[in-house]
Amino acid sequence: MQALGFKSKVFLAPMAGITDLPMRRLVASIGGGQMVSEMVAINSVQYKNPKSYRIADVRSEPYPVVVQLLGNEPELFAEVVPLIEEMGAHSIDINMGCPVKKITANNTGSALMKDISLAAKIVESAVKASKLKVSVKFRKGWDNNSVNAVEFAKMCEDKGAAYVTVHGRTRSEFYSGKADWDIIKAVKESVKIPVIGNGDVNSPQKAQEMLAYTGVDAVMVGRAALGNPWMVPNIHQFLETGEELPKPTVQEIKQVLLKHMDELLAYYNEQIGLPVTRKYVCWYCKNLYDAKRFRERYNRIDNYADAVAEINDYFDNIAEFVTGEDSEEVLF
């Protein structure tokens, strides 16, 4: 991936409402990894929507950021891509994999896998309009009756994409079941451009396993990074040196959570940012003692001072990594 200007083989996946500036800044501050923005709708950029402009503007970030674009109009991509360049993008990724209904209902995201002709025009338009590298993120297919990831990857390569990212699930599977690494391997074997594998990479060992099994050039991490900003840097460290980062202590988790909260409030303001912190609190305290009761108390808080006090009180009074009854999976 170094030929494309990337210094890491692990990418933080673009996740709407999650991989915002505060999240990217936090992950980057811990260690290595490649940052990708939340998806940005190209029509919102065209209309100069302030929220979309802020998402797309990555000039303040000292590390390279891939900006992901969402849309289905080739002409509009040609118009918007130069604006994205001006806002500091390292490279551009086109979202053709989002499975969310409100996205696919507009014939964007993974719905474009059902219209390869239109998808080809979009990729070609973006490539011709951009001085930056253009990539495409897509899935195994729309459903198990229309698995076309290999064909889709070849199209992307033919139209000038510099690399592709493939998620080993169909749109109909969303995030359920086991990701199909065989289809990721098949994509890698079908094209000459670099391929990033996405799906079920939730540890350094899994990242190494995907690289070895599929032959991909890099891996992408999504849900495993929720409440665990150490995950991407840890995988980066492991792939580079064979050693993992030290496991964070409960106090270190607390300090990072507080830092994350401050970043969110500074970015969104307290009125918007404080409610946003609730989902992060749920993720950060997963598998810790009495987490359910802590979440219930925290979700009723409506001011910064009480939020900080509640976090300090909880994390200062639990033992190291005591698994609670409401645990779903071990993140650390």
The bridge status of strand 10-12 relative to strand 218-221 is parallel
Give CA angle at 232 (290, 59), nearest 5°.
Answer: 115
Q: Has 282 been annotated as catalytic?
A: no
Give the up-direction half-sphere exposure of residue 227: CA atoms within 13 A in the CB hemisphere.
Answer: 17
Q: Answer for the pair 67, 92: CB distance below 8 angstroms, yes or no.
A: yes
Q: Which of 231, 331, 233, 259 shows the shortest CA–CA distance to 291? A: 331
* CB environment 6-27: b (16+ within 10 A), e (fewer): bebbbbbbbbbebbbbbbbbbb
Closest among 13, 9, 59, 6 to 38, alpha carbons compared: 13
Check 98, 156, 282, 285 and give the catalytic one: 98
Residue type, 82: P
Residues with a known catalytic role:
98
